[in-house]
Amino acid sequence: MSNLPSEPEFEQAYKELASTLENSSLFEQHPEYKKALAIAAIPERIIQFRVVWEDDKGQVQVNRGYRVQYNSALGPYKGGLRFHPTVNLSVLKFLGFEQIFKNALTGLNMGGGKGGADFDPKGKSDNEIRKFCVAFMSELGKHIGANTDVPAGDIGVSPREIGWMFGQYKKQTKLWEGVLTGKGGSWGGSFIRPEATGYGTVYYVEEMMKWASGGSDSFAGKKVAISGSGNVAQYAAYKVIELGGTVVSLSDSKGALIATSATGITPEMVEIVAKLKVERKYLADVAETADFGSTTKYVAGARPWLQVGDVDVALPCATQNEVSGEEAEGLVRAKCKFLAEGSNMGCTQEAIDVFEAHRRENGKDAIWYAPGKAANCGGVAVSGLEMAQNSSRIKWSTEEVDAKLKDIMKNCFENGLQTAKTYVTPKEGELPSLVAGSNIAGFTKVAEAMKDQG
């Protein structure tokens, strides 16, 4: 019996990676990597601290703050900060563990980490959120730096919160450096950073489509189901529409918004949803309005996967474990051809098993699944580009950053694809396993660096 407490989210992420490594020829060819996996599974450092702040009534409040500095073999720790009541050590270890290999797949020099607090921004005033950010950074600032650990935003942490934390870090250290990414555009932020995760996921699926069709397929005319309604979902929707696809759903923790007309979810609707989320409200608050009522339906308590009918592409863009085994089977029945995670660990292991079994049994007609560590690495990739711009005291144009993002997503896809062919040889006519290829490609890069550094 283990003496460690149960950490279900982390254990799921670890088993998902370990199982693909064990079911490949990797350990036969490189037996030393077994020990590297055991070492990489343990964070280099975990920082836990209390965050004491004062609400608008003058009452003292306290939350738990964390930073998991997981692996620095490839560069400074890099990964977001999440402010959400569900934050605990298991969630942050899962996110940090995934982040190591996601960052490796970008090709940039970044290690992996994750952090945050069990603070809930919903229902708090701007002043209360600012006070919390200052208190949080007063402790976290002792442990980070531009060449040590570079956090970014995640759920509950927008450029506004990044600004408040950056200001506190600067007061404490007297340093103006690229210690946080996702900064404002006028003071060190990068173009395309807010859009990067959503755009990058769509660019990745474009590469999947091209490869599966021999170069002839695209988003034009495709029906695309998207979950979530935050930053990732919004920009994925915008890019899908720009490329000629039809977005048929968005969702949040209360329910799903399903398109009932051929036009689908329009850019104007996405813009309304974006404003709604800034106000920390729910889709239910606009579902019956004139902008939505005649062309969408709202399904309370549901995710979109079993509500949308036949679709070509599914993009989970909300949170972890948002596609169950039953929903995966529903997407197979709905003739979905491509599923890529815009969220981290968006699919349960049962769902992944459904997708992978269908891939093995149905040749080019199968659903093709791409894991989040590959498909959604665009966000942290542009964070890495922001770090490079900060180090050089320069700012690249939107077009330059977007071109670099496209190249990174293309290289990430091809790396996973070729690695899968090497270590998990597909049968004749079978689509390669992107989950196995991406896991192995990210892991081997980190393991080699760890080995070289002793």
Q: Can 114 be counted among the known catalytic residues?
A: yes
Beta-carbon contacts of 215 under 8 Å, excluding residues fewer than 6 positions away, are none
Q: Choose the weakest-confidence range: 139-153, 328-342, 417-431.
A: 417-431
Burial 134-146 (b: 16+ CB within 10 A, else e): bbbbbbbbeebbb
User: How many Å apart are CA 2 and CA 93, to the nearest integer?
Assistant: 17
Beta-carbon contacts of 379 under 8 Å, excluding residues fewer than 6 positions away, are 152, 193, 196, 197, 200, 232
CA-CA-CA-CA dihedral for 101, 233, 230, 238, to nearest 10? 130
Distance of CA 330 to the CA centre of its chain: 23
Taking only the tens place, the pLDDT of each residue in 4-41 is: 789 999 999 999 899 999 999 999 999 999 999 999 99
Average pLDDT over residues 144-153: 96
Does position 373 have pLDDT exceeding 80, yes or no?
A: yes
Q: Which two tokens stand for residue 59?
A: 């009452």
Does position 279 have pLDDT exceeding 90, yes or no?
A: no
Which pLDDT score, from 0 to 100, does residue 191 have? 93
pLDDT level of residue 385 (50, 70, 90 thresholds)? very high
Which pLDDT score, from 0 to 100, does residue 427 have? 86
User: How many Å apart are CA 402 and CA 356, to the nearest integer?
Assistant: 31
Which pLDDT score, from 0 to 100, does residue 304 have? 97
Q: What is each CA distance from 441 to 20, 26, 374, 397, in whole angstroms?
A: 11, 10, 10, 31
User: Nearest 5°: phi and psi at 296?
Assistant: -140, 165
**pTM, to two decimals:** 0.90
Binding residues for NAD(+): 197, 231
Taking only the tens place, the pLDDT of each residue in 389-447 is: 999 999 999 999 999 999 999 999 999 999 999 999 888 889 999 999 999 999 999 99
Which pLDDT score, from 0 to 100, does residue 350 have? 96
Taking only the tens place, the pLDDT of each residue in 306-315 is: 999 999 999 9
User: How many Å apart are CA 430 and CA 425, to the nearest integer?
Assistant: 9
Which pLDDT score, from 0 to 100, does residue 2 have? 64
% of the chain at pLDDT higher than 70: 100
pLDDT level of residue 1 (50, 70, 90 thresholds)? very low
CB 264 within 8 A of CB 225: no
- Among candidates 88, 336, 121, which has minimal Cα distance to 227? 336
- Among candidates 400, 326, 381, which has minimal Cα distance to 181? 381
Amino acid at 265: I
Catalytic residue among 114, 239, 373, 445: 114
Mean pLDDT of the chain: 95
What residue ranges define each of the domains in the chain, with the CATH number in brackets? 41-173 (3.40.50.10860), 195-374 (3.40.50.720)
Does position 215 have pLDDT exceeding 70, yes or no?
A: yes
Instruction: Count the residues in the chain.
Output: 454
Q: What is each CA distance from 381 to 14, 77, 101, 190, 254, in whole angstroms?
A: 23, 13, 12, 11, 31
Q: Which two tokens stand for residue 70?
A: 């997981």
